[in-house]
């Protein structure tokens, strides 16, 4: 009976104040969506780092007028270098072949570039992918080198962009969370006011505090959970219709987003929504429904 009573109070409460309930659900939705996007992005970057850093190479481009002696000298130096895990020589022709596959969909650009214009290079994989600085120092001054490019540095730049997006999503989530908190607090105050007679009688006849407060807190929790579910559906829709749809090109850079990771956001968002609502509701009532 107690459970039925509380459940009934929650549903009646949500319905009585339905505009406020909708506002609460919408803010919760976008706040939790921001959280979901941010966490998903974090997991994605983690996964991409594992994927890409395994293949990271340092490219040592050689001068156009490099001599045979300089080339073999560099070759020997790299073989002797303790930081090098593996190295590969790429001739102008190799570079051109790779270039052609990379820009296969831009034939105009391809036609304008000849094999002679591309530099030959050594591709080096380091034992420690983070140890670029030390490696660059160790080969400094060897003749024939035109330029040394750390591809890891390029990836870091890419990940910086992702990081910025994540932070942006998190900031949006926090701002929306503040709005959601205020709405929860306000909704509960309105609900408590509209039920002030009942609350007064309940206190008078000695209803326990949790029994008085539970319907109000649960109202907020239910709204939070509904917001989480809608937010997660938006997240899922975003993956299905944006990332897997028009933005599919991105998956050549971004590794595919596993469905498991998306699924994992549901309990996370629901938990966060429920917890935030419950704590806000409870704190509001502490100030509003003094015994």
SS (H, E, C) 2-71: HHHHHHHHHHHHHHHCHHHHHHHHHHHHHHHHHHHHHHHHHHHHHHHHHHHHCCCCEEEEECCCCCHHHH
Q: Which of 2, 108, 116, 141 binds other proteins (CB under 8 A)?
A: 2
Q: Which of 179, 203, 234, 236 binds other proteins (CB under 8 A)?
A: 203
- How far, in Å, CA of 224 to CA of 230, rounded? 10
Q: Which of 103, 109, 193, 211 binds other proteins (CB under 8 A)?
A: 211
Q: How far is the CB of 211 from other proteins (least distance, A)?
A: 6
DSSP H or E stretch at residue 149: strand 145-150
Taking CA atoms, 229 is separated from 30, 142, 219, 259, in Å, by 11, 60, 16, 16
Q: How far is the CB of 1 from other proteins (least distance, A)?
A: 5
**Which C-beta is closer to other proteins: that of 104 or that of 291?**
291
Whether the CB-CB separation of 246 and 29 falls below 8 Å is answered with no
- How far, in Å, CA of 69 to CA of 54, rounded? 32
The region of 81-89, 129-137, 199-207, 233-241 touching other proteins under the rule CB under 8 A is 199-207
Our finding on whether 204 is near other proteins (CB under 8 A) is yes
Whether the CB-CB separation of 38 and 32 falls below 8 Å is answered with no
Our finding on whether 201 is near other proteins (CB under 8 A) is yes
Query: How many residues lie near other proteins (CB under 8 A)?
Result: 18
Q: Which of 110, 175, 207, 243 binds other proteins (CB under 8 A)?
A: 207
Q: Which of 70, 94, 156, 198 binds other proteins (CB under 8 A)?
A: 198
**Which C-beta is closer to other proteins: that of 3 or that of 80?**
3
Per the listing, tokens 């490019």 go with 149
User: What are the structure tokens assigned to 227, written together?
Assistant: 């917001």
**Which C-beta is closer to other proteins: that of 72 or that of 194?**
194
The residues of the shown chain that bind other proteins, judged by CB under 8 A, are: 1-2, 5, 197-198, 200-209, 211-212, 291
């Amino acid at each position: 009976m107690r459970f039925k009573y509380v459940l009934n109070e929650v549903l009646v409460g949500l319905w009585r104040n339905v505009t406020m309930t909708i506002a609460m659900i919408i803010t919760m939705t976008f706040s939790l969506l921001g959280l979901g996007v941010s966490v998903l992005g974090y997991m994605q970057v983690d996964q991409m780092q594992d994927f890409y850093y395994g293949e990271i190479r340092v490219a040592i481009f050689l001068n156009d007028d490099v001599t045979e002696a300089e080339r073999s000298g560099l070759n020997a130096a790299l073989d002797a270098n303790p930081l090098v895990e593996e190295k590969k020589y790429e001739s102008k022709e190799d570079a051109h072949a790779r270039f052609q596959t990379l820009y296969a969909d831009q034939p105009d650009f391809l036609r304008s570039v000849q094999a002679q214009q591309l530099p030959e290079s050594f591709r080096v994989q380091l034992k420690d992918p983070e140890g670029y600085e030390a490696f660059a120092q160790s080969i400094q001054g060897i003749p024939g080198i035109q330029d040394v490019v750390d591809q890891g540095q390029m990836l870091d730049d890419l990940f910086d962009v992702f990081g910025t997006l994540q932070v942006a999503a998190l900031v949006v989530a926090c701002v929306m969370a503040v709005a959601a908190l205020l709405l929860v607090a306000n909704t509960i105050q309105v609900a408590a006011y509209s039920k002030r007679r009942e609350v007064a009688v309940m206190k008078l006849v000695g209803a326990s505090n949790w029994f008085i407060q539970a319907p109000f807190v649960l109202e907020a929790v239910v709204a939070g959970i509904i917001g989480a579910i809608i937010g997660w559906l938006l997240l899922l829709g975003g993956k299905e219709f944006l990332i897997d749809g028009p933005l599919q090109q991105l998956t050549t850079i971004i590794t595919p987003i596993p469905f498991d990771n998306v699924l994992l956001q549901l309990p996370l968002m629901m938990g966060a929504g429920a917890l935030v609502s419950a704590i806000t509701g409870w704190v509001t009532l502490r100030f509003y429904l003094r015994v």
